[in-house]
Structure 1
Amino acid sequence: MTIAEQYEYWQDVRKGLSRRSVLRAGVFGAAAVAAGPMLLGRPAYADTPGSAVVPFGRHLAFGNDPATQMRVGWQVPSAVANPVLRVGTSPTDLSQTVQAEIRNLRSDYGTGAPLEQYYGHAALDKLSPDTTYYYAVGHEGLEAASGPVNSFTTGPAGSGSGLKPFTFTAMGDQGASAQAALENAQITAQNPVFHLLAGDICYADPNGQGKLTDSYNPAVWDGYLKQIEPVAQSVPWMVATGNHDMEAWYSPNGYGGHAKRLDLPTNGPANCPSVYAFTYGNVAVLSLDANDVSYEIPANKDYSGGAQTSWLERTLADLRAKPTIDFIIVFFHHCAYAVTTSHVSDGGVREKWAPLFDKYNVDLVINGHNHMYERTDPIRGGKPTRTAGVGDTVSPVTDGTTYIVAGGGGASLYSLPSNGPESYAGNVKDASGVAAGYFGAGGKVTEAVDWSRVRYRGHNLLAVDVKPAAPGGTATLTVRGISVEGAKAGTEIDRITITRTASTVDTPAFGSGALLTGAALAAGAGYAGYAAWRKHRSGLDVPAS
């Protein structure tokens, strides 16, 4: 059953329909019904005085425009009235007040008291670019300005040589545990301007099959938000959704609970809340939901009806048409290319998205799902174009896309195939014909691959150093794999540099005087002008089709 079908079934159960109506789904018994939470329409309000209700779990996310928008979230242990956020450009002058909202998420297991969770949200718009703001949250009975004061810095405006170098971090498969909490120190040490989490956020559902029969404990979210707060209260925490993030009880798309907990950019396709794009300086970042295309775990397969993939192509075309964008980075959960003995690769990702990554020359793809660190050689058309060892430099224009699995964010680690041993900085053991596989429409398919270049079976973090350039200069992404494992924590396990020539023109459509839209580019309109711009930018000929 799909997530949508399970949700419909669950609503029938809630409404107390006849046994015959309930059993039309045909696969769940009373025990399964008792296992999941029931969502009720009415909010519950506690009698706790506001002065005794202490906010926790502060976390940030960009709005659609990182230069001018920030979203602030937090949690409170019971219902409060009149939630507010105070903000200003000085920690001693939080003179602006923004009215916030509390979103109530109610889960009922059918036994005992229901679990009530209360999430605060405040939207900050019309901010100044490249500016540090200070904020505090409160509510009736708890003055915001008297509580902890935190800060964030908006993204930059401008392009080219006017941009400063910056760093961002990424990983996947974190969870709430002592090991997962170790990521905080390593992230902080990189001083990132934002952090990407490539799905499997907190493991409230440890089974990850997207089924009503999965084990599920929504209280895990409380511990997770507390765990990430030391970083996420100042660093935008941008998430994608993985298979452990599908929650069939809350909405037909499986993400109704996240709508209560999280705020993310809203420029993606309708009904796909974790699909979005944002631009920071000369880097565009796209978050995708691979549950929509996965053959391995199909509970939410095709839930967007193709809308996500159509949006992806339009967005990639638009971004490649913008001279201010040097690098395009895409992150999502299920792997296009991975060799562990667990999930391996997903053929749905390869079929639907990898051709678009080739077509629009995506620079870097970041995945989770497989609990390890792995980097491919640059790939085009499903094959490696060259060897790229630790410390090498690659050009996506000539070499193709680099794929990295950074799924060692805290969850238990996976094993490698016997002929694909660990190979990383200081321990290089190159291997060819590595035993691997992928999930296709008919199940798992085995393959032997030569594209797996770096493999590290340890918890890890990805740090990406971005160095913009003046027009005509060389812009770089220096991608570093960092261990978060025992005595090796903080040591570098991998490094690759990705280069591009910074744009030297105001528009990619030479002679047209207007910027081509992504739709026009995708349809081939004005391709000669677009190809001429790419040739000018890269120094290479671009095929006419």
Structure 2
Amino acid sequence: MTDLERRDLLRGVAGAATAPFFVDSVAGQAAPDPGPVGVHAAYGRDPASTLRVGWSGAPAVDARVEIGRPDEPPTTVDAEANPVPGREAVAYAATVTGLAPDTAYEYEAVLDDRRAGPFSIETAPDATDGFTVTAVGDHGVADPENPFQRPDDDVPNRVMDVAADLDPDLQILVGDISYANGKPSTWELYFETFESFYAETPFMTAAGNHEAEPGTGLTQYDRRLNDLMPIHDPPGPDDFQHGRRWYHFDYDNTRFISLTTTADGCGDVSRGEEFVPIYDPRCEFGGVTYGDVQERYLRRVLEEALEDDDVRWKVVYFHGPFWTDSPDHAPRDLLRDRWGTILDEYGVDLVLSGDNHVWERTKPIAAKPDRDDYAPADAWDWESDVGTTYVTNGTGGVSHYGFGNRTPSEYFARRTNSYFVTTDREGGDPVVRDSFEIRKAEEHTDHGARRPTQIDLYDGPVDDDLVVQGSREDDGRVFTGGQTDRIRLTYDANRAVRIRDRIPSDWEVTGGDATRTDDGAPGDTKWVYFDSDAAESGSVTYFVEVPEGPTRTGRYALGPVQATTDDRAEWVAVPGTTSEETVVGAGTGT
């Protein structure tokens, strides 16, 4: 959560394993709500005069927004309609311009004779004494109808409740938004669930890897969210290869810039959408890659901000982090080399990312002079008092990731995997788990930008996290139906922990150290529990029988193992404890 003020001060506070993809048959989808449903709003390039409104529903002859000041006749604005994957599903988007600054409006979304609202929303003021932004990544929604849905509880709802309690001027979500993973109805559920917040709080986004869905790519994200973002630059030759998913806007004295670390499918499509690197030479068009185009854009809008006396702060956000201790998604060192140096040259104050389900805040980080390659961490200086602050905040509610090292990397001022933003409450109030300020130093970059400096306001340790490492050993990788697999799990933690494993629901536990199973795991899986005292290290062995029959032939994911302590309710994924097994369903006797 971040407050941005007109003075030389930026204040931030914070509180407290990749799912398998699948392509869901459209024929199996229920018809969408006729709508309008899932109303959400975003700012245009000028938040003081422009709003964009989106929603979904069935096809309609007349789609519009009716908006006006309270007790005044509304103005009607037509909405554009674009089909999205799903049965007769349509995403609608309307752009409302010519609004007055710092003004409250009421609006309704209309499809033929059906209405949603009224909702209340305010335009940005021309100038303020400070404003509030809430930001998080890796959110999701509990969807019992989605077998590969990540959240299976109300944590994503509690995260948004905390954000709503702060009454922000805008909400940023840095990717991995609904976790639909190919099931269109999960997108519908996501926006229905959070409509009361998103319809009245402008909602700005960046695409994450889970927005690149199997079979349909980024279509759902593009139609439901990217079409609402303030992308005003006319398409050029570079856009034939990739959709444009980067933009910027100015709120008061702050320039916000959104980039994307997720690319359209290109090159070797067998790698899967989310693994396509944005600088892949096989994805060039006209001699430039998706990363090259954004690099040029980033430099241009930062140069414009430097020349604009009204812009004091610069905040950049995208999904994949440059600096992280979580091994689930490695630091984007190529982007650190290509984009990080630009952020440093123009004195960017704060960079927000997600992807890893942890909270991490760096010390101020600046590029060391005269290096040929800025991908390695040692090409950067975190011992001085000036530089950009990088925050990884993937604590939106999906899960917690483990850290790969017991001791935090030297460049971190704070890290934790123990909380979902500020949802850890004592006496009903959010508990602050990190706090810091960013001020402007007197030092300037070579481009003339004032460098930022950071003041650490958190009086606790750098980390209070649970760090667990582990391993998994199986009898093999290919099994015939009915065979037994012996599974051995090891773990090593910085505290005494208990562990549980995750296996496919139709695999039967037949013996060993396992004492019970629980079908409450996400998707078509179940938990395996072990009757052992909490310990800092140890191992367990148990046996499972793989399913039999021709319909059971396929590839199955096991793990990751999760760990918890006796004094915490949340479980943490243990790195190094996943595997994939192939089953030939025909029995051993056939």
Aligned to 2:157: 181
Give the Cα–Cα distance (whole angstroms) in 2 for the partners of residues 272 and 327 of structure 1: 28
Cα pair 1:105 1:118 within 8 Å, conserved: yes
SS in 2 for 1:85: strand
Paired position in structure 1 for 2:296: 310
Q: 1:58 aligns with which of 39, 44, 57?
A: 39
Matches within 5 A, 1:204-353: 204-205=180-181, 216-247=182-213, 249-250=215-216, 254-262=217-225, 263-267=228-232, 270=239, 271-292=242-263, 298-302=275-279, 303=283, 304=290, 306-353=292-339
**114, 121, 130: which one aligns with 1:152:** 121
**Residue 249 of structure 1: how far off its partner (Å):** 3.2
Q: Deviations over 1:16-51 (max 9, x none)?
A: xxxxxxxxxxxxxxxx99946689xxxxxx9x9xxx
Amino acid corresponding to residue 55 of structure 1 in structure 2: P
| Aligned-pair CA distance for 1:141 | 2.4
**Residue 106 of structure 1: CA displacement?**
3.5
Give 2:67's aligned amino acid. V
Separation (CA, whole Å) in 2 of partners of 1:380 and 1:374: 17
Match of 2:79 in 1: 100
* Closer, same or farther: CA 61–273 of 1 in aligned 2, 3 Å: farther
Q: Spell out, residue by residue over 1:152-182, the C-alpha distance to the aligned partner (whole angstroms, 9 max, x if none).
A: 1112225xxxx23110110000011221111
1:479 paired residue number? none
The structure-2 alpha-carbon separation of the partners of 1:150 and 1:451, relative to structure 1 and needing over 3 Å to count, comes to: same
Structure 2 distance, partners of 1:99, 1:36, is: 32
Deviation at 1:412, TM superposition (A): 1.1
**CA–CA separation in structure 1 for the residues paired with 2:232 and 2:117:** 32
* Residue identity matched to 2:197: V
What is the distance in 2 between the residues matched to 1:221 and 1:171? Answer: 18
Secondary structure of residue in 2 paired with 1:320: helix
Give the letter aligned to residue 498 of structure 1: I
Residue 175 of structure 1 aligns with an amino acid whose one-letter code is G
Matched, 1:377 2:363: yes
Q: How does 1:60-99 map to 2 (within 5 A)?
A: 60-76=41-57, 78-90=58-70, 92-99=71-78
User: Does structure 1 retain, via aligned residues, the 8 Å contact 2:258–2:317?
Assistant: yes
Is 1:492 the counterpart of 2:472 in the alignment? no
Look up the equivalent residue of 2:433 and give its one-letter code: I
| Deviation (angstroms), 1:259 | 2.8
Q: How many residue pairs align between the two structures?
A: 384
Secondary structure of the residue aligned to 1:148 is strand
Distance in 1 between residues matched to 2:136 and 2:291, nearest whole Å: 28
Query: Residues of 1 paired with 2:129 and 2:339: CA distance?
Result: 32
- Residue 401 of structure 1 corresponds to which residue in structure 2? 388
Deviation for aligned residue 1:372:
1.1
Q: Check the 8 A contact 1:94/1:134 in 2, yes or no.
A: no
Greater percentage in helix:
1
Measured in 2, the distance between the counterparts of 1:148 and 1:291 equals: 34
- Classify 1:491/1:80 alpha carbon distance in 2 versus 1 (closer, same or farther; 3 Å): same
Q: Assess, with a 3 A threshold, how the Cα gap between structure 1 residues 452 and 60 changes in structure 2: closer, same or farther.
A: same
**Which of 451, 471, 484 lines up with 2:411 in the alignment?**
451
The answer (yes or no) to whether the contact 1:409–1:460 under 8 Å persists in 2 is yes
Q: CA contact under 8 A between 1:173 and 1:198: conserved in structure 2?
A: yes
Determine whether 1:200 maps to 2:200. no
Alpha carbons of structure 1 residues 33 and 316: separation in structure 2 relative to 1, 3 Å: closer
Cα deviation, residue 119, structure 1:
1.9
1:419 counterpart residue number: 406
Change (3 A) 1:122 1:459: farther
Structure-2 separation of matches of 1:187 and 1:343: 26
Please, what TM-score do these two structures have when normalized by structure 1? 0.64
**Structure 1: how far apart are the matches of 2:435 and 2:400?**
21
- Measure the CA separation in 2 of the matches of 1:155 and 1:33: 39
Kept in 2, the 8 Å contact 1:84–1:100? The answer is yes
The one-letter amino acid of 1:116's match is E
C-alpha deviation, 1:459, in angstroms: 4.1
Offset from partner CA, 1:445-474 (integer Å, 9 cap, x none): xxxx3112211213444xxxxxxxxxxxxx
User: What do residues 408-443 of structure 1 show as CA deviations (whole Å, max 9, x unaligned)?
Assistant: 0011110123523xxxxxxxxxxxxx4xxxxxxxxx
SS at match of 1:316: helix
Does structure 1 retain, via aligned residues, the 8 Å contact 2:35–2:111? no
Note the alpha carbon deviations across 1:184-204, whole angstroms, 9 max, x for none.
211111111111101111111
**Distance in structure 1 (CA, Å) of the matches to 2:47 and 2:26:** 36
Tell me how far 1:344 sits from its aligned partner.
3.3
Q: Which letter maps to 1:261?
A: R
User: What is the SS of the residue equivalent to 1:138?
Assistant: strand
Aligned partners of 1:171, 1:497: CA distance in 2, in Å? 18
Aligned partner of 1:171 in structure 2 is 136
Q: Secondary structure at the match of 1:409?
A: coil
The runs of 5 or more residues in structure 1 that have no matched partner are 1-31, 40-45, 108-114, 206-215, 388-397, 421-433, 435-448, 462-482, 503-507, 509-520, 522-526, 539-545
CA contact (8 A) 1:69 1:124 kept: yes
SS at match of 1:419: coil
Give yes or no for contact 1:372–1:456 (8 Å, CA) kept in 2: yes
CA distance in 2 between counterparts of 1:417 and 1:71 reads 42
Distance in 1 separating the partners of 2:178 and 2:392: 18
Q: Evaluate the alpha carbon distance shift between residue 352 and residue 87 of structure 1 in structure 2; reply closer, same or farther with a 3 A threshold.
A: same
The equivalent residue for 2:539 is none
**Displacement, 1:267?**
3.6
For 1:234 and 1:458, how far apart are their aligned partners in 2?
30
Q: CA deviation at 1:126?
A: 1.3
Q: Deviations over 1:203-241 (max 9, x none)?
A: 112xxxxxxxxxx21221011111221210111111101
* Structure 1 residues 169 and 34: CA distance shift in structure 2, 3 A: closer
- The 1:255/1:497 distance shift into structure 2, 3 A limit, reads same
User: 1:116 & 1:226 partners in 2: Cα distance?
Assistant: 17
SS in 1 for 2:276: helix
Task: Confirm or deny: 8 A CA contact 2:39 2:109 kept in the other structure.
Answer: no
Displacement, 1:349?
2.0
Q: Which has the larger strand fraction?
A: 2
Deviations 1:301-342 (A, max 9, x none): 235261111111111111122111111000111110010232
